[in-house]
Amino acid sequence: MADGAASVLDVRDLKTVFRTRGGEIHAVNDVSFHLKPGELLGVVGESGSGKSVTMMSLLRLLPAPPADIRSGKVLLNGKDLLAMSDDQLRAVRGAKVGFVFQDPMTSLNPVFTLGNQIMEPLIKHLKMTKAQAETRAVELLDLVGIPDAKHRLYQYPHQFSGGMRQRVMIAIALACDPDVLIADEPTTALDVTIQAQILELVKELRRKLGMAIIWITHDLGVIAGIADRVMVMYGGQIVEHAPVKELFANPQHPYTRALLQTIPRITGDRETRLKVIEGQPPILSGPLTACPFRARCEYRFDACDAANPARRAVDGQPIGQGHDVACHWTAPARQEPAHA
Partner 1 sequence: MLDAAPAPLVQVRDLKMHFPIYTGIFRKHTGDVKAVDGVSFDIMAGQTLGLVGESGCGKSTVGRAMLRLYEPTAGRVVIDGDDVARMAPEALRKKRPTMQMVFQDPQASLNPRMTLAEIVSEPLDEHTDWTRDQKLERVYELMDQVGLNRRFVNRFPHEFSGGQRQRIGIARALALKPRFIVCDEPIAALDVSIQAQVVNLLEDLQEKLGLTYLFISHDLSMVRHLAQKVAVMYLGRIAELSPSKDLYRRPLHPYAEALLSAVNEPDPELAARRNRIILKGDVPSPANPPKGCNFCTRCPKVMDICRTVKPDLLEVEPGRLVACHLYPTKTAAGSTGASEAAVLKNQERNQQGETR
Secondary-structure breakdown of the chain: helix, strand, coil percentages, each rounded to the nearest 5: 35, 20, 45
Residue 38 and residue 33: Cα distance in Å, rounded?
A: 15
Q: 85 vs 267, which CB is nearer to partner 1?
A: 267
CB of 65 to partner 1, least distance (A): 23
Q: Which stretch binds partner 1 (CB under 8 A): 132-140, 151-159, 188-196, 207-215?
A: 188-196
With H, G, I as helix, E, B as strand and everything else as coil, classify residue 99: strand
Q: Could you say which residues in the range 259-298 bind partner 1, by CB under 8 A? A: 259-260, 262-267, 270-271, 273-278, 280-281
Residue 38 and residue 330: Cα distance in Å, rounded?
A: 32
Whole-number minimum distance, CB 118 to partner 1, in Å? 20
Which residues have a Cβ under 8 Å from the Cβ of 333 and sit 6 or more positions away? none
Q: Of the ranges 19-27, 31-39, 168-176, 212-220, which one interacts with partner 1 (CB under 8 A)? A: 212-220
Q: By the 8 A CB rule, do 235 and 284 touch?
A: yes
Taking residue 156's Cβ as centre, other Cβ atoms within 10 Å add up to: 15
If one asks whether residue 196 binds partner 1 (CB under 8 A), the answer comes out as yes
245 is an interface residue for partner 1 by CB under 8 A: yes
In this chain, which of 1, 24, 38, 46 binds partner 1, going by CB under 8 A?
46
In 3D space, the residue among 53, 43, 58, 55 whose CA is nearest the CA of residue 17 turns out to be 53
CB nearer partner 1, residue 126 or residue 194: 194
The answer for 279, left when phi > 0, alpha when psi is -120 to 50, beta otherwise, is left
Residues 6+ apart with CB under 8 A from 326: 237, 238, 239, 240, 253, 291, 308, 309, 310, 311, 312
Cβ distance to partner 1 smaller for residue 182 or 223:
223
When binding is defined by CB under 8 A, the residue of 71, 109, 161, 317 that contacts partner 1 is: 161
DSSP secondary structure, 113-149, as one string: -HHHHHHHHHHHHH---HHHHHHHHHHHHHHTT-SSH
Contacting partner 1 (CB under 8 A), which of 1, 82, 105, 224? 224
With binding defined as CB under 8 A, does residue 223 bind partner 1? yes
The answer to whether 169 touches 108, Cβ cutoff 8 Å, is: yes
Closer residue to partner 1 (CB): 111 or 274: 274
Least distance to partner 1, CB of residue 230, Å? 9
200 binds partner 1 (CB under 8 A): yes
- Nearest CB to partner 1, comparing residues 60 and 152: 152
CA distance 190 to 200: 14
DSSP helix/strand/coil, 307? coil
- Asked whether position 322 contacts partner 1 by CB under 8 A, the answer is no
State in angstroms the smallest separation of the CB of 257 from partner 1.
12
CA atoms within 13 A on the CB side of 117: 22
Nearer to partner 1, 3 or 315 (CB): 315
Interaction of residue 127 with partner 1, rule CB under 8 A: no
Q: Judged by CB under 8 A, does residue 105 bind partner 1?
A: no
Q: How far is the CB of 249 from partner 1 (least distance, A)?
A: 8
- Applying CB under 8 A, the residues found at the interface with partner 1 are 46-47, 161-164, 191-197, 199-200, 218-225, 244-245, 248, 258-260, 262-267, 270-271, 273-278, 280-281
